[in-house]
Amino acid sequence: MTLNHIRRGEGSPLLLVHGLGAGWQSWAPILDDLARHREVIAVDLPGFGETPPLSGDVSIATLTDSVADFIREQGLDDVSTVGQSMGGRIVLELARRGVGGDTVALDPGGFWSRRERAVFAATLRPSIVLVRALRAAMPALLGNPVGRTLLLAQLSARPWALARETVLPDVRGLADSPSVGVALDALTKGPLQEGAPAGTVPGRVTIGWGRRDLVTVPKQADRAARLFPDASLHWFERCGHFPQWDAPREATRLILDRTS
C-alpha cells in the first residue's frame, strides 16, 4: 500500500505521522512554518485521510510497517520522523527498529499503566460517539469558544483560545476515519510500547510532552524516558495533548532544532 501524502518545501526531508483524527491535515497549524525550512512529507496512515484501510490486522506493528514500507518506497532511508499521539508511538517504534534518522515524538501513546489505559479508553470512546452524533453541527459548535471548551477539554489546555480551523479537521477525522475504532483498539488492547536500549537508535530521539495532557498524562513521560534512555525530554508548559494546537511556535522550533 502506498500512503497518500503531501510534500511541501525544500531541504532535508521531514516525515510527519499523525495520530487519531484528520490524517496529514492534523499538522496544518505548523506545516507551512516547517516547510519554510525543510521538505515536509506528511502521510495519511491506513484508514485515515485518503489512504484506504489495511486489509488485514490493524495494530501498532502493522501501522508502523506501512510507514516503514513508505520510507523504503520513497527512498527516504535516513529521513527524520515526527509523530504526535499514536503517530508519536509509531515514530518511536520506527526508531526502535532502526528505521529513519532523528525522531521527535510528541505526547506519544503506549506508556500507560493498566489503570491509565482503561481511563483513556473509557473517556475517549464516548467522545468519539459524541462527535459522530454531532458531526453536522461541528462547524457551529467549534466556532464558539464555549462549544470548543466543552468538546475539547480533554485534548487542549486552552480550547477556548483555538481557532475553529485549527481543530475542525481532527474532530471530523475522529468522526469519519474508517480506522479510528480499530486503531483505538490497537492502542487500548494491544501491547504497550517496547523500548530501545542505549546506543541502538539510528539518530537523536526527542520526546515532547504537554504539562497539561489529559490523554497521555505527564507521569508517562518518565516511563518513556526510561524505555528510551537516549532520548531528550522536552516539556511544553500550558499545553495539552496537541502541541501543534496549544504551542505551535514552540513545537515548530523543537522539531527544527532536533532534526537534521
Q: In the predicted model, what is the mean pLDDT of residues 5-27? A: 96
Q: In the predicted model, what is the mean pLDDT of residues 13-17? A: 98
pLDDT at 1: 74
pLDDT at 137: 96
The predicted-structure confidence for 65-119, as pLDDT tens digits, reads as follows: 999 999 999 999 999 999 999 999 999 999 999 999 999 999 999 999 999 999 9
* Residues 6 or more apart whose Cβ sits within 8 Å of residue 144: none
Q: In this structure, what is the dihedral angle of CA atoms 78, 79, 84, 87, given to the nearest 10 degrees?
A: -70
Please say whether the beta carbons of 109 and 89 come within 8 A: yes
Q: In the predicted model, what is the mean pLDDT of residues 185-204? A: 97
Alpha-carbon gap, residue 183 to 104, rounded angstroms:
21
Percent pLDDT > 90 in the chain is 98
Q: In the predicted model, what is the mean pLDDT of residues 9-32? A: 96
Percent pLDDT > 70 in the chain is 100
Indicate if the pLDDT at residue 241 is higher than 90: yes
Please say whether the beta carbons of 204 and 232 come within 8 A: yes
Mean of pLDDT over the chain: 97
Indicate if the pLDDT at residue 54 is higher than 90: yes
Q: Residue 218: is it exposed, middle or buried by C-beta count within 10 angstroms (0-12/13-18/19+)?
A: middle
pLDDT at 22: 87
Say what the pTM is.
0.97
Please say whether the beta carbons of 60 and 110 come within 8 A: yes
